[in-house]
């Protein structure tokens, strides 16, 4: 398949342009920020808000704290203003949140930090150790500061932490370039980066240092957690790379069809078998679902592939199935089939125009890998990402240039019965849906055409208004992935 990404990358690599910020933002140290709301640059570059302050309209203002004697403080932990501005603890007393002044030593499992009795496992101002304050919007979980969600922003080469309400939650994590997929393992954020090809590791534990592992070939696609390891599909090399929790490469498993290029995309694990969607590189190769044996890492091997070109109903000729993303439950493997055709009027891409409605391949491993095809109907053209939430599959539908053939939607599919049942889609309007994530009971989908993220309720089947999360890049803005710590 021809792709625009390599052309763009080549163009970007050859340009060294001065940073020009969009209207309403300023260049602070080589980064475009809004002086009206940036915590590190409030009102002017370099003017940082204090621990208990936030930036509103370019002015530092008390956030969750209270202003006592003209200074922001936290009356839950301040021994000089314990519970209120007018209550001071005695010299031999400490301030305990939701209790007040207590006699030393600190009771129970609490620890004395700055004359306050706190739980190091959950206290946002003393998370894991005294004085380790979490960034605004982050939570302290098991002694580690974490945001609710992390969003991969390709246009600015960074991972942006946000709250469940999609507000900022701390500084962005800078990647070497073009993060395309993110995952969590061993209290660290992992990012697969396309250009240069690499995997970045960002530990949430402040005692560990970030690192980046170079990858030999470009076009990395998906990360999947398997036990204490990560699986990474390398589309350019036609392999699945196995990494440990530090990011070290343990194995690299070739996929079937190396002579013609399998082009692996989505991957999920059921038991000790990895199921990989092989998108293919031209009309005569790929179009399959590969199986990999993961029972012995270091000697991982291919178990073959299930070809989809011969499966009735998988696509509408002259289109192709183009398997993209994978989901699994205890008994089945689900693969989205994009069912795309070549558009002779488009000189830049092959197989981008819907040939008909999208398809869902349902594979039953216990029945000799039997494959059945579900027609997703006119509600879903060019299906992409797929995530199982409870007993409902959620599928992104839509394409950049063919909105009339593939409207931008989220399609729920009930798989609690023997025959999957299509639900009523959630309309996304101009949002071109990228990848999905479910965090704290809510769903989130990014926009491939902007920096927006949409939060939706999988029970009420309603969506909130889009929220701009990824800042504008020099050339474009795109949300590549969304993930949340488990």
pLDDT tens figures, 179-211: 999 999 988 999 999 989 999 999 988 778 999
pLDDT given for residue 171 in this prediction: 87
Of 231, 235, 286, the C-alpha closest to 256 is 286
Structural domain containing residue 99: 67-146
Weakest-pLDDT range from 35-44, 166-175, 310-319, 384-393: 35-44
Same domain, 424 and 462: yes
What residues form DSSP beta bridges with 332?
A: none
Answer yes or no: is 324 within a domain: yes
- Strand, helix or coil at 101? strand
Q: What's phi and psi for 54, nearest 5 deg?
A: -130, 165
Q: Do 409 and 285 fall into the same domain?
A: yes
Residues 42 and 132 in one domain: no
Q: Is the peptide bond before 196 cis (omega within 30 degrees of 0)?
A: yes
Give the pLDDT score at 7: 36
pLDDT the model gives residue 8: 40
- pLDDT at residue 231, as a whole number: 96
What pLDDT score does 239 carry? Answer: 93
Domain identity same for 40 and 107: no
Q: Which of 130, 146, 162 is the C-terminal boundary of a domain? A: 146
Burial of 419 (0-12, 13-18, 19+ CB in 10 A): exposed
Same domain flag for 320 and 188? yes
Nearest alpha-carbon partner for 157 in 418, 486, 477:
477
Q: How far is CA 473 from CA 21, 126, 156, 194, 447, in A?
A: 9, 35, 5, 16, 14
Report the C-alpha gap between 169 and 137 in whole angstroms: 4
Q: Is residue 75 part of a domain?
A: yes
CATH code at position 448:
2.130.10.10
Kindly state whether residue 341 falls inside one of the protein's structural domains: yes
If DSSP codes are grouped into helix, strand and coil, which group holds residue 315?
coil
pTM of the shown model: 0.86
* Mean per-residue pLDDT, 450-477: 93
Per DSSP, the three-state class of 416 is coil
The answer to whether residue 336 is domain-embedded is yes
State the burial class of residue 460 (Cβ atoms within 10 Å of its Cβ: 0-12, 13-18, 19+).
exposed
Asked if residue 17 belongs to a domain, the reply is no
Say which residues have a Cβ less than 8 Å from residue 276's Cβ, sequence separation at least 6: 233, 240, 255, 264, 265, 266, 267, 289, 290, 291, 292, 326
Q: Is the dihedral of CA 339, 342, 345, 346 positive or negative?
A: positive
Q: Is the pLDDT of residue 16 over 50?
A: no
Please state which of the ranges 135-149, 235-249, 252-266 shows the lowest mean pLDDT: 252-266
Q: Is residue 275 assigned to a domain? A: yes
| Residue 5 pLDDT > 70 | no
161 and 269, same domain (yes or no): yes
Residue 482 and residue 448: Cα distance in Å, rounded? 12
Asked if 93 and 51 sit in the same domain, the reply is: no
Which residues are bridge partners to 389 per DSSP?
392
Question: Does one domain contain both 116 and 46?
Answer: no
- pLDDT computed for residue 19 by the predictor: 77
Domain count, the chain: 3
In terms of domains, do 399 and 254 share one?
yes
Whether residue 36 sits in one domain with residue 170: no
Does the pLDDT value for residue 348 go beyond 90? no
33 and 160 co-located in one domain: no
Residue 190, phi-psi category: left (phi > 0), alpha (psi -120 to 50), beta (remainder): beta
| Domain end call among 63, 82, 116 | 63
Q: pLDDT higher for 218 or 444?
A: 444
User: CA 63 to CA 72: how far, in whole Å?
Assistant: 8
**Three-state secondary structure call for residue 59:** strand
Residues 40 and 87 in one domain: no
Residue 39 included in any domain = yes
Supply φ then ψ for residue 223, to 5 degrees. Answer: -105, 140
Residue that is last in its domain, among 118, 146, 174 = 146
130-134, 212-216, 324-328: the lowest-pLDDT one:
130-134
In a 3-state reduction of DSSP, which class is residue 332?
A: coil
Q: What is the pLDDT of residues 282-317, one digit of tens each?
A: 666 678 999 999 988 776 788 899 999 999 999 999
Is 14 a domain residue?
no
């Amino acid at each position: 398949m021809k792709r625009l990404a390599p052309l763009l990358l080549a163009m970007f690599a050859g340009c060294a342009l001065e940073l020009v910020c969009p209207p309403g933002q300023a260049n602070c140290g080589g980064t475009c920020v809004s002086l009206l709301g940036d915590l590190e640059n409030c009102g002017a570059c370099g003017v940082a808000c204090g621990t208990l302050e936030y930036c509103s309209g370019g002015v530092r203002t008390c956030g969750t704290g209270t202003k006592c004697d003209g200074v922001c403080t936290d009356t839950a932990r301040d021994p000089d203003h314990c519970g209120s501005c007018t209550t001071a603890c005695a010299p031999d007393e400490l301030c305990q949140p939701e209790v007040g002044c207590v006699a030393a030593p600190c009771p129970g499992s609490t620890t004395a930090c700055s004359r306050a009795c706190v739980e190091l496992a959950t206290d946002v101002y003393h998370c894991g150790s005294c004085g380790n304050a979490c960034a605004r919007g982050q939570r302290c979980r098991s002694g580690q500061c974490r945001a609710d969600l992390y969003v991969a922003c390709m246009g600015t080469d960074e991972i942006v932490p946000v709250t469940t309400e999609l507000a900022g939650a701390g500084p962005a994590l800078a990647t070497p370039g073009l993060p395309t997929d993110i995952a969590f393992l061993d209290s660290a954020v992992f990012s697969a980066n396309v250009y240069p090809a690499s995997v970045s590791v960002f530990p949430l534990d402040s005692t560990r240092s970030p690192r980046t592992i170079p990858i030999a070939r470009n076009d990395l696609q998906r990360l999947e957690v398997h036990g204490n390891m990560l699986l990474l599909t390398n589309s350019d090399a036609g392999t699945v790379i196995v990494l440990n929790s530090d990011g070290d490469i343990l194995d690299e498993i070739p996929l079937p069809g190396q002579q013609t290029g399998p082009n692996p995309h989505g991957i999920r694990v059921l038991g000790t078998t990895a199921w990989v969607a092989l998108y293919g590189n031209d009309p005569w190769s790929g179009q399959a679902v590969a199986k990999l044996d993961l029972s012995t890492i270091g000697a991982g091997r291919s178990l073959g592939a299930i070809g989809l070109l011969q499966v009735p109903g998988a696509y509408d000729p002259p289109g192709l199935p183009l398997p993209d993303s994978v989901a699994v439950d205890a008994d089945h493997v689900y693969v989205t089939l994009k069912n795309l055709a070549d558009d002779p009027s488009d000189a830049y891409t092959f197989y981008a125009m819907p040939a008909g409605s999208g398809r869902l391949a349902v594979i039953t491993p216990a029945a000799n890998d039997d494959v059945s095809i579900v027609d997703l109907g006119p509600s879903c053209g060019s299906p992409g990402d797929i995530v199982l939430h409870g007993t409902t599959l959620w599928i992104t539908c839509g394409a950049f240039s063919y909105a009339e053939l593939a409207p931008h939607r989220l399609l729920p599919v009930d798989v609690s019965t023997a025959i999957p049942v299509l639900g009523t889609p959630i309309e996304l309007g101009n949002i071109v849906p990228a990848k999905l994530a479910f965090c704290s009971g809510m769903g989130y989908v990014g926009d491939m055409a902007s920096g927006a993220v949409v939060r939706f309720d999988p029970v009420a089947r309603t969506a909130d208004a889009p929220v701009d999360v990824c800042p504008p890049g020099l050339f474009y803005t795109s949300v590549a992935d969304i993930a949340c710590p488990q």
